[in-house]
Amino acid sequence: KNHPQSKRLIKQCKAKIEKMSKELYDKGVEEYAKGNIEGAVFYWQKAYELTSKDRKVINALRKTRRELR
């Protein structure tokens, strides 16, 4: 059965998750720019938990983890 209301709610939830992930990614960029690598990783990890397929987040985490070694 087709449930337009359910589909609309799912779409709204996905949009909110993407927005939250972008905000976390942006906070990570701000922390990175300040030289706070650990802070950047914290925010990017949270963004990754929301949207694990976002290439920007994955690449940022890989780069900063290499820098922390």
Say what the pLDDT of residue 2 is: 66
Q: How far apart are CA 51 and CA 14, in angstroms?
A: 10
20 CB-near residues (< 8 Å, 6+ apart): 50
Instruction: Enter the pTM of the model.
Output: 0.87
Tens digits of residue pLDDT in 11-46 = 999 999 999 999 999 999 999 999 999 999 999 999
State the DSSP code for 3. Answer: -
Say what the pLDDT of residue 62 is: 94
Q: How far apart are CA 41 and CA 43, in angstroms?
A: 6
Q: How far apart are CA 16 and CA 2, in angstroms?
A: 23
Q: How far apart are CA 54 and CA 9, in angstroms?
A: 22
